Structure 1
Amino acid sequence: MKRVSWMGQRALLLVFALASFAGQANDLQKLGHIHGIAFGGEEGETLLLATHQGLFSYEQERAQRISDEVFDVMGFAIDANRKAIFASGHPASGGNTGLLKSIDGGISFERLSLGVAGPVDFHQLTVSGINPEIVYGVHGKLQISADGGASWRVQSGSLPPKLLQLAASDVSDQRLYAASEQGLYLSDDQGKSWRQLFPYPATSVVVAHRRVYAFVVGKGVVASAEETLFWREIDNRFGAQVLLDLAIAEEGLRMVGLTQMGTLVESVDQGLNWRSLPPGPQPSSAQEKRGQLLFQKNCQSCHGIAAVGETYSIESLTTQNYLFAPALNGSAHAWHHLDEQLVDTILEGSPRTPKMPAWKESMSEQDARDVVAYFKSLWQEKHRRCQGPKHMDRDCLAE
């Protein structure tokens, strides 16, 4: 099986480090970094956001802080009965919080323990789905609690390299899943030893309703029943986006993903189709809609549905010097160029790669302008305002 090339690994490291240019056109942009997401509440249908400014709920396109205190929530987990929320991170005064616990839905948190060699800052936290007394946290090494987080021990053995997320099983109190930049892993001995399930970078993994879901770069969202571990590829149309976290609602149909750009995407059909959350700008004028049809016919196969960019594939990750077709929806650098430059690239092609041919034999200049009008309709207002050289103007961006 092909391995991810050095160039592919380098590209992924750059992707993981991306900051969002897009933002979101509501109060989500005021939250700073979102570190984790999960569904909570009495019915398991309230989306919770672990952020740099505390714990928030997100309903009806509005974010509202739940936690009384402002603290940087790094690790974040909810037990299967939704009776306890665990968190770890940094208090506003600095340092580490240790392990925190809330039994009132996240309104108030109390320090439950310091962890081993603490106070710890668990960036990865997960709770067993069949025994809520078993809690796992990572602070340098894997730590395990068998009494609901009150006391801890360090697990022997090594974690998968470049770990991104842990998820505890719903069918065995010995089983753990790990998403890392080196692949998706499984342990059946509480993290003492691991075996690789996918050799490609896995950016998130979550267990819900005795099923395990993961985002594997080159495969997209994959899922399997825990009993069989027979994987099904659900969707791989995310363009340049990867999902750093997944949340599954109680009824199982609704899923929300957190991208490396800090934005949220939502599916209401078990991951078959996705949209921005909140819904982003859409084409409205006659020109923009003409451009949309031209884009779908001529450009979408490379630049992705809704111009989200070329989706990572096994070929792209295993080919040296592979150049990806960029996102044009405002999440990358298209807005750094003026309309004339964008039109010229469409008509004349790109000297950097034959993947971007000259379209002047099959598209008119007006066609090219219509295509540009279409993908500009997907940009946020600040991208249109600060297009071209003004993308370097901090005053423009701050308006």
Structure 2
Amino acid sequence: MNKHPAAVAATALALALTLAACSGSGDSEDSTGESTAGTTVSHIHGLGLDLTDQRLYVATHEGVYTPGAKGEPELVGDSEDDFMGFTMADDKTFYASGHPTSGGNKGLIKSTDAGKTWKSLSLSGKSDFHALDFAHSTVYGYDSTNGLVRTTKDGISWKDGARLEALDIAVSPTDPGVILATTEDGVVRSGDGGKTFAPAQQPVMAFLSWSTKDALYGIDTSGGLNSSADGGITWKKISTVPGGRPQALTAVAPEHVLAATETGVFESKDGGTTFKKRLAVTSSGGH
């Protein structure tokens, strides 16, 4: 049954808050055990890694950040907008969405200089994509404003798919028609590019990331990292990411995983068995 877009957006937001809300405040510790104070990041929405120089990019409620010379969060460019959706097409090309500091919706925006500057592509004022993925030369998005899965090749014209109440999406790296989405009832699967989705399957995941055919990762609502070698049909729990509730997940490669929780960004290079803190943040309440 289709719901009114406003209701869908409200439900999706409630799901996001339930699954990935920040809580707590105060200084956090970095990987050396030293306190990291100063920059406050109220919520992390997306993660990316430049494969050339291994620079980490963190999309947050107050802009896109990267670790500075001393490992502290450093703003990329001068935008302090809320970057709700974020994905990297390559080392310098980013797509994002969210809210300007003045309010409203950003639609789809693009950067070709690693987040220093951004250009509006489409749907400005109309859509807020809470989840974005780039695969098969296509931007896949979950438009939370309208409760729609949508795709675009050129960033301007869109194909609308099914209505969902979702938090995150992941696209098969080998099949452009296979899309997974996280819902409050479990993971749903589409085999037709997002036009229709099969009923939800347990377990419930907050975020998903699919790097190669046999390397699909999901993080559950308590921070448990899971993997699937069969496209999400079966799951195996690997570990629990440190730092509390999950906020974002990106699989860079089959064994290389980035995960954000309440206290920072953690990195694993052994398929999620162990994690090291890559960026410490001071979380404040809010979304």
* TM-score normalised to structure 2 length: 0.76
Between the two proteins, the alignment pairs up a number of residues equal to 258
More strand by share: 2
Residue matched to 2:4? none
Gap change, CA 1:275 and 1:20, over 3 Å in 2: farther
| Counterpart amino acid of residue 193 in structure 1 | T
> Unaligned 5+ residue runs, structure 2?
1-15, 29-34
CA contact (8 A) 1:84 1:102 kept: yes
Gap change, CA 1:240 and 1:45, over 3 Å in 2: closer
How does 1:1-399 map onto structure 2 within 5 Å? 16-21=20-25, 23-24=27-28, 25-26=35-36, 29-39=39-49, 41-43=50-52, 45-58=54-67, 61-79=71-89, 81-114=90-123, 118-128=125-135, 131-138=136-143, 139-155=145-161, 157-159=162-164, 161=165, 163-195=166-198, 198-210=201-213, 211-217=215-221, 220-225=224-229, 229-235=233-239, 237-238=240-241, 241-250=244-253, 252-259=254-261, 261=262, 263-278=264-279
1-structure distance, mates of 2:195, 2:92? 29
Residue matched to 1:296? none
Deviation of 1:178 after TM superposition, in Å, equals 1.0
| Counterpart amino acid of residue 93 in structure 2 | A
2-structure distance, mates of 1:132, 1:100? 16
Gap change, CA 1:217 and 1:48, over 3 Å in 2: same
| Counterpart amino acid of residue 62 in structure 1 | E
Deviation of 1:184 after TM superposition, in Å, equals 1.8
CA contact (8 A) 1:50 1:74 kept: yes
1-structure distance, mates of 2:171, 2:244? 25
* 1:307-326 residue CA offsets vs partner (Å, 9 max, x unmatched): xxxxxxxxxxxxxxxxxxxx
CA contact (8 A) 2:22 2:43 kept: no
Gap change, CA 1:34 and 1:23, over 3 Å in 2: farther
Deviation of 1:74 after TM superposition, in Å, equals 0.9
Gap change, CA 1:76 and 1:180, over 3 Å in 2: same
| Counterpart amino acid of residue 78 in structure 1 | M
Gap change, CA 1:278 and 1:154, over 3 Å in 2: closer
CA contact (8 A) 2:36 2:280 kept: no
Q: Could you say which structure has the larger radius of gyration? A: 1
* TM-score normalised to structure 1 length: 0.57
Identical-residue share of aligned pairs (%): 26
1-structure distance, mates of 2:238, 2:141? 28
| Bigger relative contact order, structure 1 or 2 (CA pairs below 8 A, ≥6 apart) | 2
